[in-house]
Amino acid sequence: QVQLVESGGGLVQPGESLRLSCVASGSIASIYRWAWYRQAPGKQREFVTSISATGSTYYVDSVKGRFTISWDTASKTVHLQMSSLKPEDTAIYYCNEDPPGPFWGQGTQVTVSS
């Protein structure tokens, strides 16, 4: 099993920044690519960004240039640095493998509102 604990969310104003963290534990040794996903109110969960063990990254167009994913293998933590936040970034953010495995954490709420 894989355990995922996300943190770092909060309420911010448009244009501000947040840094999310996801601590992974359990059977994670074979995971090659980590990702962040998000689920906005009334919408399905969607892919946001991923990073491979070699450091290659991928971002959906809506967050390119604003979000940065990183993976600290020593602490088994995946980070998401979010800047220039917009109201449409409001969602619950989750980390998981890419493609996602069956185990999800509780997520962390990000609310962008003036």
Instruction: Read off the pLDDT of each residue in 33-47 and give the average, rounded to a whole number.
Output: 97
Q: How far apart are CA 23 and CA 34, in angstroms?
A: 11
Answer whether residue 30 shows pLDDT above 90: no
Both tokens of 4, joined, read 């995922």
pLDDT digits (tens, 9 = 90+) for 48-89: 999 999 999 999 999 999 999 999 989 999 999 999 999 999
| Class of residue 1 by CB neighbours under 10 A (exposed 0-12, middle 13-18, buried 19+) | exposed
Whose tokens are 């999800």? That residue is 104
What lies within 8 Å, CB to CB, of 72 at 6+ separation is 78, 79
User: Which residues are 21's β-sheet partners?
Assistant: 7, 79
What percentage of the chain carries pLDDT values higher than 90?
Answer: 91
Q: Are 94 and 38 spatial neighbours (Cβ–Cβ below 8 Å)?
A: yes
